Structure 1
Amino acid sequence: MIILRFNHDGENKTGILDGGKIREITGSCYNEFDLTGTFHKLSDVKLLPPCEPKKVVAVGLNYMDHIVEFGERKIPEEPTIFIKLPHAVIGSEDSIIIPRRAERVDYEAELAVVIKKYCRRVDKEEAKDYILGATCLNDVTERCMQARDGQWTRSKNFETFCPIGPYIVTGLDYNNLDIKLLLNGEIKQHSNTSNMIWNVEELVSFISGIMPLYPGDVVTTGTTRGVGPMVPGDVVEVVIEGIGTLRNYVK
């Protein structure tokens, strides 16, 4: 199933992609919903971020090649996590705004999963039952601030620094998906989620042992090597097998 949020005639709605058209639903995609008889063309709506997270819990250094790229050689004993806040979330086709104080703003292509139900202290064997589906995420980062600050809150949380979308797709093998990032049509990152150090279920279990996760919250799983800067005028795309393309314009 392909779930999306959209705006049509000034109203925000949720639907599923059905035969290339959007079919509106009533109820919540996180539990029970009904299909309506109302359809829309994709070209007639504005896509919104596919969920409204209270928080985005992000994981750093989850691909060995990125650890080396980051200047390290040792795998951390536990996942390195940080938070991206809701004000940073934008959708596909929205603009990433370079802050005035920024020196270097980087792209980071990531697989993200959306939580389906209240999730607290969940074993990894149960974790998949708490996941609604997967989506694309660009963990936009001000790299110079990240290096100077010694922690990542400022560098990761400027407005528009968390593009998510275009859809939430259910039923995928989260741990074996091809992932790419294209900058102005040129491939800059390319890997497979099978190369993650901690898989999706392990990450959800680990994070839920620290903080509760709620329906609509997002866990994003880290990036591979090839991170690099974006400048105004660039078009950046995260492409994940089975999900689609998250496209944003840099301003």
Structure 2
Amino acid sequence: MDTWMRFMSGDGEIVFGRVEGGYLHEYQSLDRRVPTGEVLSTRALTPLAPCAPGKIVALWNNYHALAAKLDKPVPAHPLFLLKSASSVVGAGHAIRRPVSYAGKIVYEGELGIVIGRRCRDSSLEEAEAAILGYTIVNDVTAADLLGENPHFPQWCRAKGFDTFCCIGPAIVSGFDWQAGSVVTTLDGVERQNYPLADMVFSPAEQVSLISQDLTLEPGDVIACGTSLGVGSIKDGATVAVTIAGIGTLSNTLVGTQDAAAAMVAGAANAA
């Protein structure tokens, strides 16, 4: 299995490559995986989300256990929405409560598929070959907005705020998803623990079917949906999503005052 990560160097340059033994073996980019010959110590680098997706395709009702609990039929085609590219943050970065929203915020621990090559109308075999690897996603939702307008469920708005798509810490190629589980903790207390083998649509099926609806580009992420145990996050709480073989994605929700203070401090440090 190869582990791919993305960092910012001390001079502000974004670097991507294969990580082994505490060192980054740099590659040109995610879609041009050609070694540059540079080897950098990860201790001197700042971790970022492992990819910069142009779009995040987020599935709903993709686990048999959750479908049974909700009394929903298993879909014939993946049910999905799109999250904004600006919603992406990496492991360790804050989830910022929107200034305009004081309601319930929800976590969803998920497996993420990272696309490695452009695909459109792909067969299952082509879809499998298009998967660079797997990562972890926390699909954050401003839950009270979903039904705020009775005439139009606001899925994209509720899930598209800045920092509402946590991705990381790495992309792992060759991961055996069928043997994996998603474990989500809230301030150290386990809230989710479900097997990935319970998925309705396998990763290759997701890529193949979704590619019939829209073109998937290198770096795009498919969030495979979540299962039982979704819950709310209070300001100051930390959500950690772990998939053995990939790692742990940990992020803390900060309230509007803390977020504003952090932005002021960041601006002062940059001045």
Q: Aligning the two structures, in what range does the TM-score lie when normalised by the shorter sequence?
A: over 0.9
> 1:141 maps to what in 2?
141
CA distance in 2: counterparts of 1:226 and 1:163, whole angstroms = 18
Shift of 1:63: 1.1
Matched with 2:122 is: 122
Larger proportion of helix: 2
C-alpha contact 1:92 1:165 (8 A) present in aligned 2: yes
Structure (1/2) with the larger strand percentage: 1
Structural mapping, 1:53-68, within 5 Å: 53-68=53-68
Worse-superposed segment, 145-154 or 84-93: 145-154
Distance 1:155 1:138 in 2: 14
Q: 1:19-47 CA distances to partner (integer Å, 9 max, x unpaired)? A: 1x1224142333441153532134x3211
**For the residues of structure 2 that align with 1:243 and 1:35, how far apart are their CA atoms?**
25
The structure having more radius of gyration, on CA atoms, is 2
The answer as to whether partners of 2:54 and 2:220 remain within 8 angstroms in 1 is yes
| 8 Å CA contact retained: 2:24, 2:42 | no
Percent of aligned pairs sharing the same letter: 35
- CA separation of 1:156 and 1:34: change in aligned 2, threshold 3 A: same
Describe the superposition over 1:62-85 as per-residue Cα deviations: whole angstroms up to 9, x where unpaired. Answer: 11222345x433222322111001
Q: Structure 2-normalised TM-score?
A: 0.87
Q: Does 1:15 pair with 2:17? A: yes
Partner of 1:163: 166
Secondary structure of the corresponding residue to residue 137 of structure 2: strand
Task: Tell me the SS of whatever aligns to 1:147.
Answer: coil
Structure-2 residue corresponding to 1:74: 73
Find out whether 1:152 has 2:155 as its counterpart. Answer: yes
Equivalent position of 1:5 in the other structure:
6
Unaligned 5+ segments in structure 1 are none
Asked if 1:204 corresponds to 2:203, the answer is: no
2 CA distance for matches of 1:125 and 1:167?
24
Are the structure 2 counterparts of residues 131 and 105 from structure 1 closer, same or farther at C-alpha, using a change threshold of 3 Å? same
CA distance in 1, matches of 2:159, 2:27: 34
Whole-Å separation in 2 of the counterparts to 1:76 and 1:96: 31
Deviation at 1:175, TM superposition (A): 3.1
Q: Residue deviations 1:119-147, cap 9 Å, x none?
A: 00001233110010000000001112123
**Residue 113 of structure 1 corresponds to which residue in structure 2?**
113
Q: Which of residues 187, 194, 197 is equivalent to 1:194?
A: 197
TM-score after normalising by structure 1? 0.93
Q: Which residue of 1 aligns with 2:89?
A: 90
The CA RMSD over aligned residues, in Å, is 1.5
Distance 1:174 1:30 in 2: 22
Deviation for aligned residue 1:92: 0.5
**Superposed CA offset, 1:83-135 (max 9, x none):** 00101000000000112314110000010011111100001233110010000
Match for residue 41 of structure 1?
A: 42
Query: Residue 197 of structure 2 aligns to a residue in which SS?
Result: helix
| Alpha-carbon separation, structure 2, partners of 1:11 and 1:155 | 32
Structure 1 counterpart of 2:29 = 28
Question: What secondary structure is seen at the aligned counterpart in 1 of 2:178?
Answer: coil
Kindly provide the amino acid, as one letter, of the partner of residue 61 in structure 1: N
SS for the counterpart of 2:146 is helix
2:227 to 224, 229, 232: 224
- Could you tell which deviates more after superposition, 10-19 or 219-228? 10-19
Task: Give secondary structure in 2 for the equivalent of 1:126.
Answer: helix
